[in-house]
């Protein structure tokens, strides 16, 4: 299966630098900090009332993206995580990684789609639609987070891709809501 082959290719591409960076970038609090700093950029680029509309729609859309991924789509597909079904997965343990000789029997949420990928995709596309010049930075963050989820052994590549697509679709919808509200409230 292509998804498993790509998973092992990425999961087994090890380096000390990636062993440090990718677990860090995968921590939600670190992502909130990165995106929070980027949101401040919009504070200086938009009139304050427009910024409040932007921020409100960003937060509501993020909540919808996260809920849709975790509570609607994952329970529908019920795909197990790679570390629960595959042998030979590198998986974080303590401050390093171990090579699992056999799958872990650990209670977790499902794998498809990746909610990390959904959330960073939503946030990156919503912000990028608003300020396209910032999109290359947002895309780099999004791709790093997706890579990290595979590297950490918690998602297959198609889980990440599915998360990116779901996040994009929700970002597109909420960007249209934002445009509509801007026209109604600022004119």
Calpha distance 138→46 (Å, rounded): 18
Residue 111 has pLDDT above 80, yes or no: yes
Percent of the chain with pLDDT over 90: 86
Inside any domain, residue 25: yes
Inside any domain, residue 186: no
CATH number at residue 137: 1.20.144.10
Residue 176 has pLDDT above 80, yes or no: yes
Residue 21 has pLDDT above 90, yes or no: yes
User: What digits encode the pLDDT tens for the residues 46-57?
Assistant: 889 999 999 999
Inside any domain, residue 160: yes
Residue 187 has pLDDT above 80, yes or no: no
Q: What range does the domain containing 52 cover?
A: 2-181
Inside any domain, residue 187: no
- Looking at residue 166, its pLDDT comes to 98
Q: Are 61 and 118 in contact (CB under 8 A)?
A: no
Banded model confidence at residue 117, pLDDT cuts 50, 70, 90: very high
Is 0.85 topped by the overall pTM? yes
Q: Are 22 and 30 in contact (CB under 8 A)?
A: no
Domain count, the chain: 1
């Amino acid at each position: 299966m292509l998804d498993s082959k790509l998973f092992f290719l990425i999961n087994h591409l090890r380096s000390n630098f990636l062993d440090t960076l990718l677990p860090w970038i995968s921590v939600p609090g670190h992502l909130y900090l990165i995106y929070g700093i980027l949101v401040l950029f919009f504070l200086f680029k938009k009139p304050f009332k427009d910024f409040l509309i932007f921020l409100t729609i960003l937060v509501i859309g993020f909540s919808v993206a996260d809920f849709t991924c975790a509570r609607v789509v994952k329970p529908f597909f019920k795909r197990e995580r790679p570390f629960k079904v595959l042998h030979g997965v590198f998986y974080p343990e303590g401050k390093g990684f171990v090579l699992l000789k056999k799958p872990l029997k650990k209670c977790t949420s499902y794998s498809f789609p990746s909610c990390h990928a959904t959330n960073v995709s939503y946030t990156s596309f919503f912000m990028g639609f608003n300020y396209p010049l910032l999109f290359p930075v947002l895309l780099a963050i999004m791709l790093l987070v997706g890579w990290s989820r595979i590297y950490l052994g918690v998602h297959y590549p198609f889980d990440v891709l599915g998360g990116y697509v779901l996040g994009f679709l929700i970002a597109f919808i909420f960007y249209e809501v934002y445009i509509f509200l801007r026209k109604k409230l600022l004119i």
